[in-house]
Amino acid sequence: MNKNNIILIGMPGAGKSTIGVVLAKVLGYQFVDTDLIIQEEEGKLLWQIIEEKGVEEFINIEDRINSKVDVSKCVIAPGGSAIFGENAMKHFQEIGTVVYLDVEYPILKKRVGNFERRGVILRHGNSFRDIYEERLPYYHKYAHVKISENNRNISQTVSAIVDALDLAPESR
Ligand SMILES: Nc1ncnc2c1ncn2[C@@H]1O[C@H](COP(=O)(O)OP(=O)(O)OP(=O)(O)O)[C@@H](O)[C@H]1O
Ligand SMILES: O=C(O)C1=C[C@@H](O)[C@@H](O)[C@H](O)C1
Ligand SMILES: [Mg+2]
């Protein structure tokens, strides 16, 4: 089993996709955004799948697709809701280092804007604040490494991940 992947987890808007592709380029890795695999396999956009099938079925689909990701030397950016998939998170922990991108709530809220149209899964009419609080314990539970993004721009966050994982060119 390959353990050389990097899996970024965190809230919607934390920057998993944005940071992920830059990190992959810096490391010479491949990059996979599993939201795009879900859309391709289902033949629909994320928000359409959520609207048509509902939150619980979306979580099942996401869990199934994430559990099948079979790559090496790859930065993987799953959706923010991936942490609700127990099989997928176990798989991610087995194939690499799981990195939590920690961003404080006010910054996230500003970045995400209208989260209803972003396709964020909402249970029981929850607010964005509710989902932040609900998810935090999961991000902490599954992360091997936690990186605070506060006061860091994209390239500083990428450098912080490279340093934390000891992935600088001379140590590879
Ligand atoms: N320091 C920063 N690091 C990362 N992203 C930033 C930063 N500052 C601003 N942004 C912006 O925040 C947004 C992050 O969105 P992105 O789609 O990468 O999040 P995500 O974690 O992949 O969300 P999702 O769970 O919905 O897939 C982008 O618009 C990005 O340009
Ligand atoms: O955090 C979420 O609830 C989601 C984030 C997106 O990346 C998608 O995975 C999906 O739209 C759900
Ligand atoms: Mg993303």
Has residue 52 been placed in a domain?
A: yes
What separation in Å is there between the alpha carbon of 19 and the centre of ligand 1? 7
CATH number of residue 158's parent domain: 3.40.50.300
Average pLDDT over residues 9-32: 97
Q: Domain limits at 38?
A: 5-165
- Residue 29 DSSP code: -
User: In which band, very low, low, confident or very high, does the pLDDT at 151 lie, cut at 50, 70 and 90?
Assistant: confident
Q: Residue 120: its pLDDT value, please? A: 85
pTM: 0.96
Q: Which residues pair with 102 in a beta bridge?
A: 148
The interface pTM score, or ipTM, of the predicted complex is 0.96
Q: Residue 136: its pLDDT value, please? A: 97
Residue carrying the six token digits 């998939």: 85
User: In which band, very low, low, confident or very high, does the pLDDT at 129 lie, cut at 50, 70 and 90?
Assistant: very high
For the chain, what is the domain count?
1
User: In which band, very low, low, confident or very high, does the pLDDT at 124 lie, cut at 50, 70 and 90?
Assistant: confident
Has residue 127 been placed in a domain?
A: yes
Q: Which of 21-25, 113-117, 158-162 has the lowest mean pLDDT?
A: 113-117
Average pLDDT of the chain?
93
Q: Is 15 annotated as a binding residue?
A: yes
Name the 3-class secondary structure at 100: strand
Has residue 138 been placed in a domain?
A: yes
In angstroms, the CA 123 to CA 155 distance is 34
User: Is 138 within 8 Å of 128 (Cβ atoms)?
Assistant: no
pLDDT of residue 39 exceeding 80, the answer is yes
Has residue 172 been placed in a domain?
A: no
Has residue 170 been placed in a domain?
A: no
Which atom, in ligand 2's list, is nearest to the CA of 34?
Answer: 9
Alpha helices in 8-153 (DSSP H): 16-27, 34-42, 46-53, 55-67, 86-95, 105-112, 128-142
Average pLDDT over residues 77-89: 97
Q: 129-159 burial, b if ≥16 CB within 10 A, otherwise e?
A: eebbeebeebbeebbeeebebeebeeeebbe
* Closest C-alpha to ligand 2, atom 12: 120
Of residues 105 and 119, the one with the higher pLDDT is 105
Has residue 171 been placed in a domain?
A: no
Residue 147: CB within 6 Å of ligand 1? no
